[in-house]
Amino acid sequence: MSLNIFFSTDINEYIGVLACVNSIIKNTQNLEKINIYVLTFDMKSFPFPIFPINVYIKDLIDYPNLKNELELSMSKHNPLRINNIANFARFTLPLIFENIDHGLYMDADMIVNTDIYNILKEIPKSFNICACQNYDLRKMGLRLDGQGFNAGIFYWNFAKYRKNNFYRKAIEIMQQNRDKKKQIKFGTQNILNEIYYTNVHFINPMWNIMGFGAEYEKYLPSEEDIKNGFIYHWTGEKKPWKEDGNYKELWLKYKI
């Protein structure tokens, strides 16, 4: 069985995607079982380097209907960094890569410390979405009870997403917040948690150790999590490719 891994990026976090892919290559035994899919935005002049792994690239510019719909649906009242089309373009992945039934979505600000193929051991036969349990839904600003997930990494059932027309649901939520001039604090994360409420299969939290980019010490990962974590995630503003980035030594060894 192949593991399909997806990224959605623009030039601002392109450097992170390259490092993440390199970390996958360095720590995975059977690379022939790994496929990398990258959805870019207006990046045809920035070719992907040659890797010893299958890499497939498409640009959102070539899908004008989807691009225009996303742009029109995005809130113009959200000043956050995550309010950009490359972030929300993840909702189009199951539509653009229409012949793929499932895959692992990853943010650009991640480094993999283990054989990524092992994540498939955590995925049940029947599922909608699989992710790490990270947040209380109420604290995320949702009027829902229970636990939610960080949308930086999740194993996604593309086939069910298409069958249930969840893309349309995502667009409707975006438009509702746009019309109400409401800021979606966590962007795509809140939308995905709303769509998949009560339909999430939680996996080992070591697959998403967050806080590496945090500005405040209380949000930084513990020494135990750093030691045992499968994937490091630079949630926060201090990305490792920035001059003031956190834990740069852990990221630089994979920089391309």
Pair 111, 232: CB distance under 8 Å: yes
SS3 181: coil
Give residue 182's pLDDT. 58
Query: Which pTM does this prediction carry?
Result: 0.94
CATH number for the domain that contains residue 154: 3.90.550.10
CA 14 to mean position of chain CA atoms: 13
Residue type, 252: L
Q: Which domain holds residue 41?
A: 3-209
- Total domains in the chain come to 1
Tell which residue, 184, 32, 43, has the closest CA to residue 17.
43
Residue 229 lies in a domain: no
Residue 220 lies in a domain: no
Residue 239 lies in a domain: no
Give residue 160's pLDDT. 98
Measured CA to CA, the distance from residue 194 to residue 189 in angstroms comes to 9
Residue 225 lies in a domain: no
Residue 222 lies in a domain: no
Residue 216 lies in a domain: no
Tell me the mean pLDDT per 10 residues along the chain, length 256: 96 96 97 97 88 95 96 70 82 98 98 98 97 89 90 97 97 84 70 95 98 93 96 96 96 96
Residue 242 lies in a domain: no
Q: 188-195 vs 166-179: helix axis angle to the nearest 10?
A: 130
Residue 89 lies in a domain: yes
Tokens of 87: 């972030």
